[in-house]
Each structure stands twice: as C-alpha cells, then as structure tokens.
A and B are shown apart, each in its own frame.
Chain A
Amino acid sequence: MGKKILTVSELRVSVKDKNKKREILHGIDFELLRGETLVILGENGAGKSTILNALMGNPNLKVSGDVKFLGEDLLKMKVEERGKRGIFLSSQSPLEVPGISTTEMLRSALEERGERLSLDQIRERITVEAKKLGLNIWFSERELNVGFSGGEKKKNEILQLLVLKPGLVLLDEIDSGLDVDASKKISEILAEYQEETWAAFIVITHNLRILQSLKVDKTILLRDGMIYAKSEGDGLIKRIERDGFSGVFEQISGGEK
C-alpha cells in the first residue's frame, strides 16, 4: 500500500457551548495509509463524529494539533480546499439544500477542480455512477436531499462520492437509514471504489453490515474524547460485537490495557 495519506497527532477539538468552550477531543493520534480502512467505534457522545468534522473543517469547531494530509498542514486549509484536494465527508444526516440540484452541485464541484462539463456531459457521468446504486439521473435532478428519505440521502452521498472520486473518504454512519439489501450493496460499491482508487476510508458505524465487503485495517475505540483502545485489523470490532462496549471497557480497565 505504502503512502501515508493522513497523520493525526495531538488532535484537540472544542466547541463553544453557551459561550463556554468545551473540549470534546483531548488529544487523538492515528495515521492512515492510502487504500486503508480505519473504523472508529464508541458509544454515543464519545466524539466520533467530531473527528470527522474536524478533518473536514467544520467552522463550529475549534481545532488544534498537528494534522498532515498528503504531507501538508491540513488545519491551515480552507474547507473548500480540503474538498477540492479529495477529502469527502458523508455526514450522519446530510443536509437538505433547497433550490440546488445534485447535478448542479456536482457540476460546480467538478468545475472547481478544473473540469468543465456541459450539462449533457455531467448528466452522462452521473448516470453511469447512479446505475451502480440502482438510480437514474432524475434522482440527481431533484433538489439536493430535499424531501429525501434517510436512505435516499445516504445514497445521494455515495453518488456524490462516486462522481467526485475523493482520496480520503469520511463516512459517518453511512448505513443508518439503509435497509439490509442496500447496506450490503453499498458495502460492495465502497469496496470496489477503494480497490479502483486506493482511497482511504474512515468509517463510523454501529452496524457491521456496512463493513462486510471492506477489509478493516485498523480500529479505534473512542471513549470520552480519547482513544481507549486500538487494534490492527478488526479484532476490536469482533470483541465489541461479542461483549458490548461495557464488556470491553471492563476487560480493559481490569488490567488488560
């Protein structure tokens, strides 16, 4: 695999909460190579989504630490720069943006990357990717996520991913809202995408179905804004599945750590 795509050290993130600063992440370290998949696990409120939002540059977060993306200082880059250079966040509940179609958004996004496509060309490009998801171009012509079901929103995120071809993919509960078959299908699509592009994935999930076609290289267990445990491969996932978070916390605090 080789090349490092992301190095995160001492990542601290806080938010303004009723005019008080509250730290959510208290120094996180990990690294990721091209083509790798990292799974972040943890209870609700552990800070999982905050890691992804900090990497994407969410303006509501105050972020410090040292983060290198392809060797460059990520924290100095504007959100749009991060997007343009290939970071892609699929958030937990994708926003509805009235008046803008997915097609129009993708066309602008590609134009920012130096690729000017006519309306016909972009539609053609989208059609090819939409087919993989069992969708057609009309899905993309609708206003961005407006009135979409939870599952449709998630499919729309994957559609955007397939068109924009990012190198670092941040998936925050991509499977929520998807039915069993759709989860399976999207897992396959993601695996295929990774194989083709050598993109790195950071995946947050409570549902292992989405991982079934992916090879998990690293796992992080997050607790109260800190890394509680790490494993190579998916060992940790299997333990949590078997014993639950509380079981694993007990084992670790019982001296195993």
Chain B
Amino acid sequence: MKTSMKGLNKDLILRLAKRKNEPKWVTDLRLSGLKYWNELEMPKWAPKVFGEDETWLNLDNIEMYVEPKSEMVSSWDEVPTEVRQVFDELGIPEAEKEGLAGVGAQYDSEIIYHNLKEKMKKQGVVYLPMEEAILDEKYSETVKEHFMKLIPTNDHKFAALHAAVWSGGSFIYVPKNVSVEIPLQSYYRLNAPGAGQFEHTLIIVDEGADMHFIEGCSAPKYNVANLHAGEVELFVHKNARLKFSTVESWSKNMFNLTTKRAIVEAGGEIEWVTGNFGSKVSMVYPMTILNGEGAKCDYTGVSFAAKGQVLDTGAKVVHAAKNTYSIINTKSLAKGDGVSVNRTLAKILPQAKGSRAYIDCKSLILDKEAKAEAIPEVKVYCMDAEASHEASVGKISEEALFYLKSRGISEDKARAMIVRGFTDEISKELPIEYAMEMNNLIRMEMEGTA
C-alpha cells in the first residue's frame, strides 16, 4: 500500500498534493519550490550538509511525507521506556509528556488548557492545523494572503525545499485588541510521530492584540528523523505584541535548517526567545523586518554545540521605518569538538531615521578542541540612526572556577554553574517549566548525557 515518498521530484509532489486534497495555489507554490530547489546553490559560507556517506544529508534517503500514524499510544505506560526516561530526565511536566507522546487528554492541566481554549474561541482566537486552515471557508483567503509571502519560495535553497514538501504546522489568528492570557504551545499539534519535519507555522496578531507562542520542539523527538526544514511566518500588526519562544532539542543526527521571519508594523513589538540544542548541523537565523514607525524587536538566543555538532545560528533585523528599535542578544557555547557560529546582523535602511540597533553576541568555549566564532554586523544606510555591536569569544574563567571550587564546589559543578550563569538571561525569559528544561538540557550537554 505504502508508496515511497523518498527523494524529490514532480511526481512525488503531485502525489503529496493529491493526498492532501489541497487547492491549486498551494500546489503551485510546491512546484515553484521544486524549481528553485533545483536552481539554487547553497550559500558559500554555509556549513557542510550534503555528503555521500549516510550520516550526511541526501534527499534520496529522506521520507518527504510520513502519513500520521493512526495508532497513537493510548496511555503513558505504553510509551517506550527509553523515551519516558528522556522525558523524566528533562523534567517535563506530566501533562506535557502526555501531549508529546501523543497520549489523549486526561489530566487536570489539560482540562484547564481545554477550558482556556474555549475562552479563546469566544475571543475569536483561531488555532488550527495548517492544512485545515487552508481548506476552511472562513480563513482560506487570509491564509492565502499571507502564506509564503514573508518567505518566498526562492528565498534560499531550503526555503524552496520547504515550499515543495511542507506538511503540518499551525495557523493562528489573534483578533484586534485580544490579549491571549496563557502562552499557546505547539505541543498539541506536533504529536504524531514522523510528522512535522517540514511544518509551516503562520501567526497573525492583529492590531493591538497580544500573545505568547511557544514552539514545543522541546524534547529529543519521539520521532527520530534526519531533516527538519520548517518555516515560521509571523505578522505583527499595528501596536500588537508577540512573544515567540522556542526551545529545540534535536537528536544528534538531525539537520535543522529552519527559516523564521517576522514583520512588525507601526508601534508593534516582537520578542524572540530561542534555545537551540542538539542536531548535527543547525542553520537558523530568525529575521525581523521592522516595517512601521516605532516598531521594536528584542531577540534573545542561546545555542549549544556539543561533540560532533555544528550550530550556525543567530538573528537578523532590518529597520525599514522611522524610530524603530532592535536589540539582539545571543549567547553560544561550544564543547568537545563542537563548532558554534554566532551570526547577527542589524541593517538600518535610509528611510529608518531615528532608529537604533544594538547587538551583543558572546561565545563561550568549553574545551580545547571546540570552536566558536561571533560575527556581528551592522549596516547603517541612514545618517540619522545609531547602531552598535559587541562581541566576545571566551573561555570559562580559571579565576571564577578557583573561587567556586575554593568554597568546596566540585570542578564539574562549578563549570556547570558558570555555564548556567552565562545563559541565565535567556532562562529568565521563559516560563518556569521551559527554563527548568533548558537548564536541564545545558546540564545534560555539560555531562555529555544528552
């Protein structure tokens, strides 16, 4: 019955489109993606991702579409022991573990969540699987107006691939002046093993509205896969506010080549909080376009490249309107023979008078063999604007280690404390259970148990 969805060609895309029963405009985007995938080169500065040996990326070995399995596990006890252990180790709250494992709602907190969902429904908040939103009479036009508009199909090679084979993800619309009380989490969407490696998230926060979205790629995945090329498109309207948090921890055979982009209108604000862990190679640089007067962007990110990993991460901001303001604060760590590249860019266009941009990127090298690079860049094309950047690459201070050890704290623990201190600013921005989880991830990476 099951036909292979490996490799990438027109036939596969048409089969995928047919299976999804999607409108023509979506299929056209897929075909456009395929065209650009074949035409576009990888950028010269990019880390290696393709290779002959099976540890490297080869699309002929990748299942482009996995039918969500109909048989979901029905109770926590049925989840394989090793998966449960990882969840336990991470300290993920019980209810979330259930969600992650695809277990149905039966806990109080889920009921609370359900009740909140009811409330949001009354407020007019829309939270739908992407495919449903495309087909939904009420929302299909809105989706069409925004879908792949911020990230066109020819944006770069993996955006083209995403356009061709995307599947899954969420559509969220927050109506004018609605404030969503609790953070919305994508856990509840990505619960089928095998799905979601090419998910597309589209969020529209209308004028004066306010929400916090948390991307829940927060555990070593139940579904082990080897390529994640998702896309996130965020539209923040006038005076609206969006906080977008991500804590990703991929298995170490994963190529994480995800594109995230936001456009912020006058008086609007976006706050990014990003934690990148795991993967073999990651290339993720969320980008913000400050498109209206007084728009703001605050980016905080941490990434950890352990043994055998290349984490090439960072953030970009384009100031395209007057009096816009951005701050990028990134921290990266490299351990073992891990390579961490911390790329940041703030660009102030001629029309963006009175704008200010500030970049601070710091890297911490934990081992002799580890490599870290911080590459901050500011491009100012406007006379009446200010931009500054700071960057540093350093090691754990021997003096700080001596100080902590002299108080009787063991070497390993002292190192872990210093590292946690280095990433403290980011943990502070997250809800408590995510902060705990991130601290645990850092601890596991430090101990080499991740």
Interface status of A191 (Cβ within 8 A of chain B) = no
Chain A: interface size category: 20 to 34
Interface positions of A from 82 to 111, Cβ below 8 Å from B: 82-85, 87-89, 91, 94-95, 97-100, 104-106, 108-109
Interface status of B410 (Cβ within 8 A of chain A) = yes
Interface positions of B from 409 to 442, Cβ below 8 Å from A: 409-411, 413-414, 417-418, 420-425
Interface positions of A from 54 to 76, Cβ below 8 Å from B: 56-60
Interface status of B77 (Cβ within 8 A of chain A) = no
Q: Contacts A59-B398, A80-B411, A108-B413; is A97 near B406 (CB within 8 Å)?
A: no
The answer to whether A98 and B421 touch across the interface, beta carbons within 8 angstroms, is yes
- Choose from A58, A89, A106, A112 the contact partner of B410 (Cβ within 8 Å): A112
Interface status of A131 (Cβ within 8 A of chain B) = no
The answer to whether A109 and B408 touch across the interface, beta carbons within 8 angstroms, is yes
- Choose from A83, A85, A91, A143 the contact partner of B409 (Cβ within 8 Å): A83
The answer to whether A100 and B418 touch across the interface, beta carbons within 8 angstroms, is yes
- Choose from B406, B413, B421 the contact partner of A57 (Cβ within 8 Å): B406
Interface status of B405 (Cβ within 8 A of chain A) = yes
Give 30 A-B contacts (CB < 8 Å), ordered by A residue: A57-B406, A60-B398, A79-B402, A79-B405, A80-B406, A80-B408, A80-B414, A83-B405, A83-B407, A87-B406, A88-B406, A88-B407, A89-B406, A91-B403, A95-B397, A97-B403, A97-B421, A99-B418, A99-B421, A99-B424, A100-B420, A104-B417, A108-B409, A108-B417, A109-B408, A109-B409, A112-B408, A112-B410, A112-B413, A164-B408
How many angstroms between the C-alpha atoms of A160 and B405 in the bound complex? 14
Interface status of A113 (Cβ within 8 A of chain B) = yes
Q: Contacts A82-B406, A83-B406; is A100 near B411 (CB within 8 Å)?
A: no
| Chain B residues closer than 8 Å to A78, beta-carbon distance | 405, 411
The answer to whether B420 and A83 touch across the interface, beta carbons within 8 angstroms, is no
How many angstroms between the C-alpha atoms of A105 and B416 in the bound complex? 12
Q: List 13 additional A-B contacts (Cβ < 8 Å) besides A109-B409, A164-B407.
A: A57-B406, A79-B402, A79-B405, A80-B411, A82-B406, A98-B422, A99-B422, A100-B417, A104-B417, A105-B409, A105-B417, A112-B408, A112-B413
Closest CB in chain A relative to B209 CB, distance in Å: 34
| Chain B residues closer than 8 Å to A80, beta-carbon distance | 405-406, 408-411, 414
User: Interface digits, B246-271 against A, CB 8 Å rule (1 contact, 0 not)?
Assistant: 00000000000000000000000000
The answer to whether A97 and B418 touch across the interface, beta carbons within 8 angstroms, is yes
Interface status of B73 (Cβ within 8 A of chain A) = no
Chain A residues proximal to chain B, CB less than 8 Å: 56-60, 78-80, 82-85, 87-89, 91, 94-95, 97-100, 104-106, 108-109, 112-113, 143, 160, 164
Give the number of chain B interface residues (Cβ < 8 Å): 24
Closest CB in chain A relative to B29 CB, distance in Å: 45
| Chain B residues closer than 8 Å to A60, beta-carbon distance | 398
| Chain B residues closer than 8 Å to A88, beta-carbon distance | 406-407
Name the CB-closest residue of A to B414.
Answer: A80
Interface status of B404 (Cβ within 8 A of chain A) = yes
Name the CB-closest residue of B to A109.
Answer: B407
